[in-house]
Copies of this chain bind each other. A is one copy, B any other.
Amino acid sequence: MGKCEQCIIKQFNSLKALTKEELVRISGCKTSMKIKKGEVIFEEGEVLNGVYCVKDGICKLSKLSENGKDQIVKMVVKGQLLGQRSLISEESSNLQATALNDMEVCFIPKSEIFADLQKNPKFSFSVLQDMAHDLRDSDDIIVNMAQKSVRQRLAETLAYISDSFGTNPDGTLSVLLSREDYANIVGTATESAIRVLSQFKKEGLISTVGKYIKIEDLAGLKRVE
């Protein structure tokens, strides 16, 4: 199993604030695991006993409603920590985490994280900054949901995915989402999302190859009103 102190993934998250000794200790009790596309990492209501450090892949955090929709609130990619919010508030999770492609994660037990939060103020502060950032993102999403049209939200989502998660060599978005996933990010019906995507295609903003989407005019997408 890999050693945390040598793992480059930690550069992208709060674990970088830990000392070498702390990392060695964590390395000794972490569990490395592989998760297949579509698998649920944790469910809504589940009590988390640690955090996941995402070494590879991407997952969605979403909440199911009675009517069968599940709203995607956030996507967590390679390099980020998963489950830190629930761990810290010591409540059960309010969201479900589902792998969007094959993933590789390390599970770090709660006791280790809490010990380091107590001892290492740099680590605490780094987690605090992460959370502050997530909170800003969430507040911005609330505003978008309230004030922007489905068309605008979908355009922004495509631009966000392109900017944040990148593209394949052929130019298609590297994160492969179903039309339903797009609808669940934007907060609309699947048919509405499909309709808007078709329109973007007609307007030359995107092109599609099967379910793969290629952004043809990123600036144009960002200008969508």
Q: Is the CB of A71 within 8 A of B142?
A: yes
Is A146 touching B94 in the complex (CB atoms < 8 A)?
no
- Bound: A115/B128 CA distance, A: 15
- Residue A179 CB within 8 A of the other chain: no
Q: A124 an interface residue at 8 Å Cβ cutoff? A: yes
Contact of A135 among B65, B69, B135 (CB under 8 A): B135
Among the 9-residue stretches A30-38, A84-92, A198-206, A214-222, the one with 4 or more Cβ atoms under 8 Å from chain B is: A84-92
Across-interface contacts of A121 in B (CB, < 8 A) = 117-119, 121, 124
Q: Are B131 and A94 in contact (CB under 8 A)?
A: no
Which residues from B are CB-within-8-Å of A188?
Answer: 146
A142 x B136 contact (CB < 8 A): no
Instruction: Say whether B95 contacts A139, CB under 8 Å.
Output: yes
B131–A135 CB distance below 8 A: yes
| Inter-subunit contact B147/A145 (CB<8 Å) | no
CA distance A212 to B176 in the complex (A): 50
- A57 contacts B by Cβ under 8 Å: no
Is A6 close to B, CB under 8 A? no
Contact A129-B73, Cβ < 8 Å, known A135-B134, A141-B142: no
* Cβ contact within 8 Å between A63 and B143: yes
Given A125-B117, A147-B67, A147-B71, decide whether A138 and B142 contact each other with a Cβ distance below 8 A. yes
Query: Measured between C-beta atoms, what is the minimum distance from A175 to chain B in Å?
Result: 20
Which residues from B are CB-within-8-Å of A140? 63, 94
Chain B residues near A79: list those with CB within 8 A: none
A29 at the interface (CB under 8 A from B): no
Can you show 18 pairs from A to B with CB atoms below 8 A apart?
A63-B140, A63-B143, A71-B143, A85-B136, A88-B125, A88-B129, A88-B132, A90-B129, A94-B140, A95-B139, A117-B124, A119-B121, A124-B124, A127-B128, A135-B138, A142-B187, A146-B188, A147-B187
